[in-house]
Amino acid sequence: MTRFIAICLLLVILRLAVKNFTGQFKISVLGQPPGRPVPQPPKVVSETLVQCARCGTYVTASRALKGEGAGKAEVFCSEECRRGGT
C-alpha cells in the first residue's frame, strides 16, 4: 500500500514538472505566458464636434447633416432639425 501511494505521489510530481516545463518553453518560444492575451493599447478616436444650427446639440462631423439655413450652408443634428421642425 505504501508503494502504491509513493508511485501516485511520484506521478503527480512528474506531471506538475512536465506542465511547468512546457509552460516555460511556451514563454521562451512565444514570448508570452500561455493562455494570457497580449494587452492592446486602447484605441483613441478623435473627431470634431459641430453644433446643430437649430437646437444647439453637438454631433460628430461625420454624422452631421448638411443643409441650407438662413441663406448659408449649415449643419444639423437630425432630419427633423434640417426641415425646421421642433
Domain ranges of the chain: 1-34, 49-83
Spell 63-84 as b/e; 16+ CB within 10 A means b.
Answer: ebeebeeeeeebbbbbeebbee
Per-residue pLDDT tens for 9-44? 999 998 888 887 776 666 666 666 656 677 888 888
3-state secondary structure of 76: strand
Cβ contact 35:53 at 8 Å:
no
Asked if the model's pLDDT at residue 45 lies above 70, the reply is yes
29 vs 36: CA distance, rounded Å: 14
pTM: 0.46
